[in-house]
């Protein structure tokens, strides 16, 4: 009689459901649990293999007749912002990001709810309660940080922290070869700042400063307005059948 070691992952396949990215398509996902003493190691292996993390679940698309979801990671050492991206950085020069332990706060949840109510009222996260949010932030067996973005204060150069109201948040995994942006949200009333783009640019800078070669952005989906923006951050690598392929 044989048995699986307690830390060995077991994979499962979901039932078909409506695709959130492309019309008239169905999606299926393969998933496993990231728990136990090998959680960090397993998360890195799976992320490098095209999986994404949500709490203690790692998943990737496993659709029968579609391969539109493509994992993307930015080559941070070679990345140069475009003119538009430089304007975004300039517009947000008054913000500073601070890496915090993955602990939820009422201020974060208030911003999270405003973001969902303004941008994703019909999404799968629309009904998330404060308890759901707390689990999304805290339920992790890997190295996870919450990056909070606030306006610079008069002593930010000394403390390294921002001051004032919370403007944007990103839940970020730290791995041996890069940072992975798990989920981000921001003040929906400050659209002129392009905060989503800014957080990616700031994470590229952050990864480079940490000596990490990659920033993992999750899935790029050709033909999807929701995910098309990820193609702008080049050079990048996309995970295809032969492996990671460079795109300039």
In which residue are the tokens 């602990």 written? 103
DSSP state of 78: T
CA distance 185 to 199: 10
Judged against a pLDDT cut of 70, whether residue 203 lies above it is answered with: yes
Domains with residue ranges and CATH for the chain: 12-68 (no CATH), 73-247 (3.40.630.30)
Q: What is the pLDDT of residue 130?
A: 93
The larger pLDDT score, comparing residue 140 to residue 178, is at 178
**Nearest Cα to 248, choosing from 236, 232, 231?**
236
- pTM of whole model > 0.75? yes
- Whole-angstrom Cα Rg for the chain: 18
Judged against a pLDDT cut of 80, whether residue 8 lies above it is answered with: no
Tokens of 31: 């998933």
Q: What does the pLDDT look like over 55-103, one tens digit per residue?
A: 999 999 999 889 999 999 999 999 999 999 999 999 999 999 999 999 9
Q: What does the pLDDT look like over 206-235, one tens digit per residue?
A: 999 999 999 999 999 988 888 889 999 999
Q: What does the pLDDT look like over 117-172, one tens digit per residue?
A: 988 766 667 788 999 999 999 998 999 999 999 998 888 777 777 788 999 999 99
Judged against a pLDDT cut of 70, whether residue 1 lies above it is answered with: no
**Nearest Cα to 54, choosing from 149, 155, 173, 154?**
173
CA distance 54 to 90: 32
């Amino acid at each position: 009689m044989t048995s699986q070691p307690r830390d060995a992952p077991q994979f499962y396949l979901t039932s078909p459901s409506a695709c959130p990215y492309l019309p008239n398509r169905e999606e299926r996902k393969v998933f496993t649990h990231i728990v136990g003493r090998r959680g960090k190691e397993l998360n890195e292996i799976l992320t490098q293999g095209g999986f994404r993390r949500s709490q203690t679940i790692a998943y990737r698309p496993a659709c029968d007749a579609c391969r539109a979801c493509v994992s993307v990671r930015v080559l941070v050492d070679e990345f140069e912002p475009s003119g538009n991206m430089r304007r975004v950085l300039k517009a947000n020069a008054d913000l500073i990001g601070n890496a915090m332990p993955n602990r939820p706060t009422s201020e974060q949840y208030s911003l999270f709810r405003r973001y969902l109510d303004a941008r994703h009222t019909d999404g799968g996260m629309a009904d998330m309660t404060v308890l759901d949010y707390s689990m999304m932030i805290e339920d992790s067996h890997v190295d996870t940080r919450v990056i909070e973005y606030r306006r610079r204060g008069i002593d930010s150069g000394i403390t390294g922290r921002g001051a004032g109201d919370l403007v944007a948040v990103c839940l970020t995994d730290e791995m041996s070869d890069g940072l992975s942006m798990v989920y981000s949200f921001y003040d929906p009333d400050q659209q002129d700042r392009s905060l989503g783009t800014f957080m990616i640019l700031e994470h590229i800078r952050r990864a480079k400063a940490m000596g990490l070669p990659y920033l993992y952005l999750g899935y790029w989906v050709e033909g999807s307005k929701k995910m098309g923006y990820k193609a702008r951050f080049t050079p990048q690598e996309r995970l295809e059948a032969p492996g990671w392929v460079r795109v300039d």
